[in-house]
Amino acid sequence: MPAMTMVQAINNALREEMRRDDRVIVLGEDVGRNGGVFRCTEGLLDEFPERVFDTPLAEGGIIGTAIGMALYGLRPVPEIQFMDFIYPAFDQIVSEAAKMRYRSGGQFTVPMTIRTPFGGGIRGGHYHSQSSEAYFCHTPGLKVVVPSTPKEAKGLLTASIRDPDPVMFLEPKKLYRSSREEVPEGEVLVPLGEAAVRRPGKDVSLIAYGYMAQVCLEAATKAAAKGVEAEVIDLRTLVPLDEPTLLASVKKTGRAVVVYEAPRTAGFGAEISAILAEKAIEYLRGPIVRVTGFDTPFPYALEDVYLPNSDRVLAAIDKVMTF
């Protein structure tokens, strides 16, 4: 079983799905000969010369074209080079792709997976580091998926490509090459809508996704040295959300720390906090604490200050444990 980075696992998932299903099409800026800005599509053009193609720098055109492909029976996987540049395609995504099943009474769906790198950690500054997942979680009709390990990137991407509805597949740039793990060749499927318990614990629940799931694992290790057993919940899919796993953890521990790197105000973690306040209030032994980015543009020089780290999460754990 080969050890892969997340980039390699994504490439492997695309390659295997394109071999399995000739309806799968890859399109986007520099995805062909260049293999994508992060090389996630490297080598696909050589094997599938008629199903991998570069596009103009026109995000609205990329997504609009992919919607048309999906409506006519293909399974396009468009890449938006950075999530920060997805906004010219916002109307196509939220007004067309997300609404098609509803407006057609179920006669049409848009089986399209939009891949895009998001988040900080690579010194990209304010135009290459944003986390705007909450915009899309707010839109009925879209599914939103965020992997945190190479193996799950393959399994979640495979499940996304096979899904009948439009999926936003958000790839944490910080995790692209930061680690390797064994990833099976052949089919790997991770069902959408199922969270993962990354580390069991009894004292406090740490709830996160993407790169922040790894940060929470680091914080849990530090907390264990102080005698606190933190349970780490990796949401994996934001929409649909696995509420049963989330609630079961918090009902067990009685404490919750929600971690996300987007700006604090109206981030997806605020929705998590609201769900816990509504459905687990009688189990809570302390306040729900959020550890987040700040309500500022993403900085270049102060990236390490902006991004939540294990020490900030540990401070939040201390806060809820001593309440």
Instruction: Find out whether 110 and 60 touch, Cβ atoms under 8 Å.
Output: no
pLDDT tens-digit profile of 139-154? 999 999 999 999 999 9
CA angle 154, 157, 161 (to 5 degrees): 140
**Amino acid identity, position 110:** V
Tens-digit pLDDT profile for residues 106-124 = 999 999 999 999 999 998 9
Catalytic residue among 75, 128, 154, 174: 128
CB atoms within 10 A of CB 321: 18
What is the rounded average pLDDT of the residues 173-183?
95
Q: 64, 54, 57: which is closest to 27 by C-alpha?
A: 54
Contact 112, 70 (CB under 8 A): yes
Q: Which of 121, 98, 129 is nearest to 215 (CA)?
A: 121
Angle at which helices 243-253 and 268-279 pack, to 10 degrees?
60
Give SS3 for 252.
Answer: helix
> What is the torsion angle, in degrees rounded to the nearest 10, for the CA atoms of residue 314, residue 316, residue 322 and residue 323?
-170
Q: How many CB atoms lie within 10 A of CB 47?
A: 11
**Nearest one of 17, 72, 67 to 41, comparing CA atoms:** 17
Tens of pLDDT, residues 32-84: 999 999 999 999 999 999 999 999 999 999 999 999 999 999 999 999 999 99
Position 1 scores a pLDDT of: 77
Rounded CA-CA distance 95/91 in Å is: 5
289, 320 contact by CB (below 8 A): yes
**Assigned fold of 196-321:** Rossmann fold (3.40.50)
CB 229 within 8 A of CB 193: no
Determine the Cα–Cα distance for residues 132 and 103; give it in Å rounded to an integer: 26
Per the DSSP assignment, residues forming a β-bridge with 274 are: none
Q: What 3-state class would DSSP assign to 77? A: strand
- pLDDT tens across 194-218, in order? 999 999 999 999 999 999 999 999 9
* Strand order from edge to edge, sheet including 204-208: 196-199, 230-234, 204-208, 256-259, 289-291
Specify burial of residue 46 (Cβ count, 10 A radius: 0-12, 13-18, 19+): exposed
118: which strand partners? 172
> 157: pLDDT confidence band, cut at 50, 70 and 90?
very high
Three-class SS of residue 259?
A: strand
Could you tell me which residues come within 8 angstroms of residue 183 by beta carbon, excluding any fewer than 6 positions away?
Answer: 1, 2, 3, 4, 8, 9, 12, 150, 151, 154
Task: Take residue 97 and report the two structure tokens written for it.
Answer: 């792709």
Tell me: cis bond preceding 76? Omega within 30 of 0 counts: no
The pLDDT score that the predictor gives to residue 321 is 97
Could you check whether 3-182 and 196-321 share the same CATH topology? Answer: yes
In CATH, 3-182 is 3.50.50.60: no
Active site residue 126: no
| Residue extents of the structural domains in the chain | 3-182, 196-321
pLDDT digits (tens, 9 = 90+) for 242-297: 999 999 999 999 999 999 999 999 999 999 999 999 999 999 999 999 999 999 99
Distance CA 286, CA 245 (A): 20
Kindly indicate the confidence band of residue 6, based on its pLDDT and cuts at 50, 70 and 90. very high
Q: Which regions of 209-311 does DSSP assign to beta strands (E)?
A: 230-234, 237-239, 256-259, 289-291
Averaged pLDDT for residues 161-177 = 97
Residue 214, φ and ψ in degrees, nearest 5: -70, -40
Indicate the pTM of the whole model. 0.97
